[in-house]
């Protein structure tokens, strides 16, 4: 950080004061929309708070937390979310690396246009995407099943069959990889060409080069995408809700954690238990993020060592 000329002590104090003034929108926002709600949320977990009867709020001790342990829907929704994450994360982090590698081919034609086209679905509003896919995957007129039938494959009723709906959701989630592709591509472009030339001199084949040079060099970008998509899984709500509401159909398969949280807090208006579910989500997401950041020390490689800060 470059140093500024500091003419006098009171002048510096004045600048510190101005600094706080400029930061104040964020500091106030952080208190109102993050810190205070977190504290209140924790307090609510010990109450029977119901928004329709706010005056009857009473402390009920740990009853919400013990309900959490007994409620079968907590287990179902956690299992659904985890099951979705285990497949969706590798897909939505890995496929962008493949696409970006193809787009990074030196002699590719129409690079700009192809890049823009891969980004395009990311711009489509979630509701529109949900209904485009609902039609595309429909058993009678959807293109996917028409194509599969032409290949002689008996196609499933994707979004209405508990066995297949995750397949549908994975496909929909792949429409959201535009940002990851773009960032990965930028990461690939910033790998110094000398490294590749050195590998060529040493006679390394393309796969070895990719594994030993490209992957480590873009590992910070992969890590960033992994963190963001993990956060996306913790927020996962819009697409299943647009398709199935908070019903969890078929057979509770779309009862994801946030769908369940919504069901408890809004249709059922049970804010005390809703806050408890929210706190459990907070704890889980903090633990997972912590694990991610700790694991990063083992596999994320920062070329510049210390970064300027």
Q: Angle at CA 210, nearest 5°, toward 225 and 93?
A: 20
How far apart CA 202 and CA 216 sit, in angstroms, is 18
- Asked whether position 305 contacts another protein by CB under 8 A, the answer is no
Using only C-alpha atoms, the chain has a radius of gyration, in whole angstroms, of: 25
Of 89, 91, 242, 296, the one binding another protein by CB under 8 A: 242
Q: If binding is defined by CB under 8 A, does position 136 make contact with another protein?
A: yes
Q: Within 254-293, which residues bind another protein (CB under 8 A)?
A: 258, 261-262, 265-266, 271, 274-275, 278-279, 281-282, 285-286, 289
Strands annotated E in the chain: none
**Of the residues 20, 58, 202, 297, which one makes contact with another protein according to CB under 8 A:** 20
User: Which window, 24-32, 64-72, 158-166, 294-302, contacts another protein (CB under 8 A)?
Assistant: 24-32
Query: Between 120 and 162, whose beta carbon lies closer to another protein?
Result: 120
Please tell me whether residue 194 binds another protein under the rule CB under 8 A: no
Chain residues 114-133 in contact with another protein, contact rule CB under 8 A = 114-121, 123-128, 131-133
Rounded Cα gap, residues 300 and 281, in angstroms = 26
Helix (H) or strand (E) holding 36: helix 36-44
Q: At what angle do helices 72-103 and 63-70 cross, to 10 degrees?
A: 70
Asked if residue 48 binds another protein (CB under 8 A), the reply is no
Integer Cα distance of 206 and 103 in angstroms:
16
Scanning 77-85, 157-165, 209-217, 230-238 for contacts with another protein by CB under 8 A, the matching segment is 230-238
- The least distance separating another protein from the CB of residue 134, rounded to whole angstroms, comes to 8
Return the number of the residue (19 or 75) whose C-beta is nearest another protein: 19
Q: Is 66 in the site for another protein (CB under 8 A)?
A: no
Q: How far apart are CA 204 and CA 215, in angstroms?
A: 15
172: number of Cβ within 10 Å: 23
Minimum CB distance to another protein, residue 298 (Å): 19
In degrees to the nearest 10, what's the CA dihedral of 272, 41, 85, 223? 180
Burial class of 299 by CB neighbour count within 10 A (0 to 12, 13 to 18, 19+):
exposed
- Residue 147 beta carbon to another protein: minimum distance, rounded to whole angstroms: 9
Binding part of the chain for another protein, among 73-81, 156-164, 201-209, 233-241 by CB under 8 A, reads: 233-241
From 63, 234, 247, 300, residue interacting with another protein (rule: CB under 8 A) = 234
Among 192, 235, 301, 303, binds another protein (CB under 8 A): 235
Nearest distance, CB of residue 237 and another protein, angstroms: 6
Cβ 239 vs Cβ 137: under 8 Å: no
Contact between 251 and another protein by CB under 8 A: the answer reads no
The vertex-118 CA angle with 140 and 229, nearest 5°, equals 90
Among 100, 103, 159, 199, contact with another protein (rule: CB under 8 A): 103
Q: Exposed (0-12), middle (13-18) or buried (19+): which is 308, by Cβ within 10 Å?
A: exposed
Q: With contacts defined by CB under 8 A, how many residues of the chain interact with another protein?
A: 100
φ/ψ bin of 267: left (φ > 0), alpha (ψ from -120 to 50), beta (otherwise): alpha
Binding mask 138-177 for another protein (x = CB under 8 A): x-xxxx--x---------------------------xx--
> Least CB distance from residue 226 to another protein, whole Å?
12
Cβ-based neighbours of 215, under 8 Å, separated by 6 or more: 222
């Amino acid at each position: 950080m470059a140093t500024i000329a500091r003419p006098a002590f009171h002048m510096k104090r004045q600048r510190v004061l101005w600094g706080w003034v400029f930061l104040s929108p964020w500091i106030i926002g952080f208190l109102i929309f993050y810190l205070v709600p977190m504290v209140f949320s924790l307090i609510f977990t010990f109450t029977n708070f119901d928004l329709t009867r706010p005056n009857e709020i009473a402390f009920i001790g740990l009853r919400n937390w013990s309900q959490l342990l007994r409620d079968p829907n907590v287990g179902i929704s956690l299992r659904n979310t985890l099951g979705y994450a285990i497949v969706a994360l590798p897909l939505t982090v890995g496929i962008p690396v493949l696409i970006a590698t193809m787009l990074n081919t030196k002699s590719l034609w129409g690079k700009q246009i192809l890049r823009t086209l891969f980004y395009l679905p990311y711009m489509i509003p979630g509701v529109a995407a949900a209904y485009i896919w609902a039609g595309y995957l429909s058993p009678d007129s959807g293109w996917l099943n028409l194509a599969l039938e032409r290949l002689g494959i008996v196609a499933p009723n994707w979004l209405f069959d508990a066995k297949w709906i995750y397949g549908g959701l994975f496909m929909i989630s792949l429409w959201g990889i535009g940002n990851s592709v773009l960032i990965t591509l930028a990461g690939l472009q910033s790998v110094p060409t000398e490294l590749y030339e050195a590998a060529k001199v040493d006679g390394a084949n393309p796969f070895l080069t990719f594994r030993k040079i490209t992957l480590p060099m873009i590992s910070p970008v992969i890590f960033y995408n992994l963190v963001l998509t993990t956060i996306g899984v913790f927020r996962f709500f819009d697409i299943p809700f647009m398709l199935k509401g908070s019903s969890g159909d078929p057979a509770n398969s779309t009862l994801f954690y946030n769908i369940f949280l919504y069901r408890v807090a809004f249709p059922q208006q049970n804010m005390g238990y809703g806050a408890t579910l929210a706190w459990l989500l907070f704890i889980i997401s903090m633990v997972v993020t912590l694990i991610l950041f700790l694991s990063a020390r083992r596999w994320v490689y920062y070329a510049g060592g210390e970064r300027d800060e």
